[in-house]
């Protein structure tokens, strides 16, 4: 059996209980070494074979999994954060399907959740934003034209940019071209959210590139944008004394 497991965003104790148990039981762990905290590997048993996929091709990863299956061994494929976001798991699953090899997926704490925790923020504030756009700036990996950053930025909602820290001049330009954010719209760069060396830099849309430059942040960071980082919002209906819902009658 092959288990795709989300390692969580950094902190080794942020893997799920299920993910840690699968690690303990695994004969082989293939981990995405460029981003998975090596401390997460402590959950693997002493006899477990460890492979860093950073230096492997898709074909080599699949060949390792297939060989493990032939030998009756259990494999954990450990991805950073949650495997469903920029994890390149679909191409692995399709090849495993073609080989009739069994697998399942265990979710993880994505770094965008880790970043909110680091910021002590709520992405969905009443009267500010009720949507979160998760996207990236087009770089060596293209983004479909309909999802160009300036189009996504036209909504003015909460936005979280993955894989874009090296492109912040372009990010600033595209965010402003959307017309809904201004140079003063609050933004933050969260470096290594939930890792021991996590860093948070609060800034604005107009100072994203400078903030990253001044603090030497070039990778392993998320860019968050929007009024959720500001001070104004409306209180929730859910806990409002004058609001009745399925679990509570209004008291005023
Ligand atoms: N599946 C992962 C994302 C993998 S893509 C997840 O759910 O988080 C890799 C990108 O994610 C990095 O370039 C960076 O933009 C972001 N990232 C991953 N871990 C991070 C962390 N702990 N803090 C900030 N950004 C992180």
CB atoms within 10 A of CB 12: 19
* Cβ-contact 85, 110 below 8 angstroms: yes
Nearest residue (CA) to ligand 1, atom 5: 86
243 C-alpha to center of ligand 1: Å? 39
* Cβ-contact 80, 32 below 8 angstroms: yes
Rounded Cα distance between 156 and 252, Å, is: 35
Q: Which domains does the chain have, with CATH numbers?
A: 2-106 (3.40.1010.10), 111-229 (3.30.950.10)
109 C-alpha to center of ligand 1: Å? 10
- Taking the CA atoms of 93, 97, 99 and 101 in sequence, report the sign of the dihedral they define: positive
Rounded Cα distance between 16 and 141, Å, is: 30
CB-based pocket (< 6 A), ligand 1: 9-10, 35, 79-82, 85-87, 110-111, 114-115, 162-163, 190, 192-195, 219-222
Q: Give per-residue pLDDT as tens, 108-138.
A: 999 999 999 999 999 999 999 999 999 999 9
Determine the residue of 106, 116, 194, 220 to mutate for testing ligand 1's pocket, defined as the one with the most ligand atoms within 8 A of the Cβ atom.
220
Which residues of the chain carry a pLDDT beneath 50?
none
* Cβ-contact 43, 23 below 8 angstroms: yes
Contacts of 18 (CB under 8 A, 6+ apart): 106
Nearest residue (CA) to ligand 1, atom 11: 162
Rounded Cα distance between 212 and 184, Å, is: 16
Rounded Cα distance between 226 and 80, Å, is: 25
pLDDT for res 252: 86
> pTM for this structure?
0.95
221 C-alpha to center of ligand 1: Å? 7
- Tokens 């100072």 belong to which residue? 207
Q: Give per-residue pLDDT as tens, 134-180.
A: 999 998 899 999 999 999 999 999 999 999 999 999 999 999 999 99
pLDDT for res 118: 98
Name the token pair of 130: 């009720």
Q: Which residues, in sequence order, are bridge partners of residue 134?
A: 160
- Tokens 């994505």 belong to which residue? 110
């Amino acid at each position: 059996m092959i288990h795709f497991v989300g390692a969580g965003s950094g902190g080794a104790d942020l893997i799920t209980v299920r993910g840690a148990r699968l690690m303990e039981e695994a004969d082989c762990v293939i981990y995405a070494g460029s981003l998975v905290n090596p401390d997460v590997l402590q959950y693997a048993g002493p006899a477990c074979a460890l492979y860093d996929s950073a230096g492997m091709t898709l074909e080599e990863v699949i060949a390792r999994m297939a060989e493990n299956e032939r030998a009756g061994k259990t494999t954990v494929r450990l991805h950073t954060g949650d495997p469903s976001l920029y994890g390149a798991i679909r191409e692995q699953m399709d090849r495993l399907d073609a080989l009739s090899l069994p697998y399942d997926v265990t979710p993880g704490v994505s770094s965008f959740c880790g970043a909110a925790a680091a910021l002590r923020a709520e992405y969905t504030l009443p009267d500010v934003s009720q949507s979160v756009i998760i996207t990236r700036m087009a770089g060596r990996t293209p983004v479909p034209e309909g999802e160009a950053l300036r189009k996504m930025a036209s909504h003015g909602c909460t936005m979280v940019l993955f894989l874009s820290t090296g492109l912040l001049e372009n990010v600033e330009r595209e965010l402003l071209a959307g017309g809904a954010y201004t140079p003063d719209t609050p933004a933050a760069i969260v470096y290594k959210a939930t890792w021991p060396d996590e860093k948070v830099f609060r800034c604005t849309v107009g100072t994203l590139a400078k903030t990253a430059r001044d603090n030497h942040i070039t990778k392993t960071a998320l860019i968050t944008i929007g009024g959720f980082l500001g001070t104004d919002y409306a209180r929730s209906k859910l806990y409002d004394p004058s609001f009745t819902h399925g679990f509570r009658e209004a008291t005023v």
